Amino acid sequence: MNGIEKLNIEKNNNQTLIKILIDKNYEKELQDNKEEVILKITEKKNEPPDKQLKPLKDKKIIIDPGHGGTSFGAVGQTGVREKDLNLQTSLIIEKLLTNLGAKAILTRIKDENVTLAQRVNVANNNKGDLFISVHYNGYSDPQANGTETYWSSQGTKGSEKLAALLQTQLLEKLQRRNRGVKQANFYVLRETKMPAALIEPLFITNPVEEQIIIKEENMVKVAEGVVDAILKFYS
């Protein structure tokens, strides 16, 4: 097992002791979930302290994968569900942000119901620096297509700038039709206490765009566009 030098299970009269000797090149994190205890052993990275390599160091970015659980969001003709794409894309964004030194906090990490109030609470309680809600679009007319991004004028200052940067970077990565930056009074954009925007990179209900987004490489493009926008926000 990587990172474990020695594992010992000892039994006394009424006690069981589990002793784990951890390799000095690894770091540990203990998680206590009532009945289950998880010990995470991760290889230490030898990173140069150069801030150029970690341009988002100390930034807390809240990523909000839209829908989940019984809320499917838009559904494509091949059965692709928005809630799944939102989460997959968010997990890629999380990975990219972590590589740049940011702390990414997701409002859900699995397929579950999360209320709008809970999403906002995650953002505000963690004192996030930015909030980005990840969605894909849907419409009754399958012809509808293109990229759009939302912000709320009743939200926090900086939201319009964030939405504009997201829209520009998503267009550059995806090369789809520009539907523009739009203003909407969405709850998560209004109630969050940090610059907030909601992306709709493509229409799942459009057969052409559905075929684009089911390819993981294109989901990576969306994630890269989001991260480029965050970098530009702080540059």
Active site residues: 200
Residue 214: both structure tokens together: 């089911």
- The interface region with Zn ion, picked from 127-135, 180-188, 189-197, 201-209 by CB under 5 A, is 127-135
Residue 235: what residue type?
A: S
Residue 68 touching Zn ion (CB under 5 A): no
Q: Are 149 and 197 in contact (CB under 8 A)?
A: yes
Tell me the longest C-alpha to C-alpha distance in the chain: 71
Nearer to Zn ion, 56 or 92 (CB): 92
Q: How far is 195 from 149, CA to CA, in rounded Å?
A: 13
Nearer to Zn ion, 82 or 129 (CB): 82
For strand 60-65 and strand 130-134, is the pairing parallel, antiparallel, or unpaired?
parallel
Q: How far is 208 from 95, CA to CA, in rounded Å?
A: 28
Binding-site size, Zn ion (CB under 5 A): 3
Residue 66 touching Zn ion (CB under 5 A): yes
Nearer to Zn ion, 73 or 201 (CB): 73
Residue 195 touching Zn ion (CB under 5 A): no
Please, which residues have CB within 8 angstroms of residue 228's CB and are 6 or more apart in sequence?
169, 172, 173
Nearer to Zn ion, 75 or 100 (CB): 75
At closest approach, how far in Å is the CB of 156 from Zn ion? 21
The residue at minimum Cβ distance from Zn ion is: 135
Residue 178: what residue type?
A: N
* Position among 68, 73, 128, 195 found at the interface with Zn ion (CB under 5 A): 73
Task: Report the interface residues with Zn ion, using CB under 5 A.
Answer: 66, 73, 135
